[in-house]
Structure 1
Amino acid sequence: MTSMTHIVAFGGIVLLGAMSPGPDFAVVVRRSAISGRGHGMAAAVGIAVGVSAWVVAAATGIAALMAASAAAFTVVKVVGAGYLLYLGVRSLRVALGGGGALELDTAAAVRRGPWAAFAEGLLTNVLNPKAALFFVALVPQFVSSGAGVGETLVLSAVALAGTVAWFLLVAGIVGTLRKVFARPGVRRAVDGLTGAALIGLGIRLATVTRP
């Protein structure tokens, strides 16, 4: 059984990975800045669920099979890169169009916004083959030979908790500055910067090769 020391170390490494700049961070910041804290938190939960799923996939060998298969790796890479490019282009179009109106107070946003934000966070994470490579390299170091379902679920829960805690903090901080982001000029800047970042990350993802 994985020791408490191993669990803490695993959680720390996953947390450091979540804190590194990337598409997950860009999505949470944009959602929080443009649509409000609740939407940013929904995106954060979606990302955390994706991370938890990758842990399970790595522990059960599914992620390793995907990383080893050229066809599967390429499909996930192309779809993931295309999704990031889609998000980036959409953000840039909003920025060039003068900045979108805040969505948080509209009836449509109340009905669809949080779920859309959750799905955006989830897809951004699960369509990233770099996440598969990360967890394929990490998880076997913390899962003992012949590990059972309970051990896998513990690591999955630790990864989920650490990731969601970090991104909820990011969403909370950005969300408290909502009045600042409500200014049209600031909204355009946020959309433009995150759009450019997502496009850059999408292009970079498209060039990733298997080790």
Structure 2
Amino acid sequence: MLGAISPGPDFAVVVRRSAVSGRGYGMAAAAGIGLGVFAWVVAASTGVAALLAASSVAFTVVKAAGAAYLLYLGAKALRAALRRGGEFRLDLPDPGKKSSAAAFLEGLLTNILNPKAAFFFVALMPQFISEGAPLADTVTLSLVGLVGTAAWFLAVANLVGALRRVFARPAVRRTVDGLTGAALIALGVKLAVTTRP
């Protein structure tokens, strides 16, 4: 839970998606992030994440893809902040004309393309699961990670979604887009210059 609560690209994506597109889209992004955490826990428990952590080539590929994706999301948010569009209408569920599946994929890719998650779970999993543990233990631990992460981000999506009328104000919307865009770009740059521990 502490890992999920710590601010990062996942948080920025859920806040922006909930503020701009609505609660349902924020919840879809939260579900994608939860599935990403589930995948990382499984990968760490089965040793796949350790291979990523040990291989400089694999780390560099995932790092470059993750940084590029965060930069893309940040640039998209900044472009939306600078655009002088018409009135924002709450009856349009997604002003970006994207589906909830696209929001889900955005959350999933933001989490999966973060190599820091591999290091986090490689360091965390041995505390809770021993070598040669049965598959049921791995699945149970993975589900705990999924449920905890999803619960946090669903709460964030619902809170921001409940305040959507505030976020519908053009100045507020541009501020949210600008701040999340800048945060995502900063996180993308930080990820791009990260070296393997």
**TM-score normalised by structure 1 residue count:** 0.89
RMSD value, Cα? 1.9
Correspondence for 1:196 among 178, 182, 185: 182
- The one-character-per-residue Cα deviations of 1:53-87 (angstroms, maximum 9, x if unpaired) are 00000000000001100000000000000000000
1:112 deviates by: 4.3
Q: Could you say what secondary structure the match of 1:84 adopts?
A: helix
- Corresponding position of 1:29: 15
| Structure-to-structure mapping, 1:83-102, within 5 angstroms | 83-98=69-84
Query: Is the counterpart of residue 53 in structure 1 residue 24 in structure 2?
Result: no
1:179 aligned onto 2:179 = no
Identical amino acids, percent of aligned pairs: 68
TM (norm. structure 2) is: 0.95
Question: What is the match of residue 122 of structure 1?
Answer: 108
Moved more, 172-181 or 106-115: 106-115
Unaligned 5+ runs, structure 1:
1-14
Q: How many residues align?
A: 197
Partner SS for 1:117: helix
Map of 1:64 onto structure 2: 50
Gaps of 5+ in 2: none
Task: Find the partner of 1:153 among 123, 139, 162.
Answer: 139
User: Which of structure 1's runs of 4+ aligned residues deviate more than 4 A?
Assistant: 99-104, 107-112
Asked if structure 1 preserves the Cα contact closer than 8 Å seen for 2:20 and 2:94, the reply is no
> What is the aligned partner in structure 2 of residue 162 from structure 1?
148
SS of structure 2 residue aligned to 1:210: coil
Displacement of 1:110: 11
Question: Aligned in 2, Cα 1:155/1:100: closer, same or farther, shift over 3 Å?
Answer: farther
- State whether structure 2 residue 62 is matched by structure 1 residue 73: no
Conserved 8 A contact 2:21-2:93: no
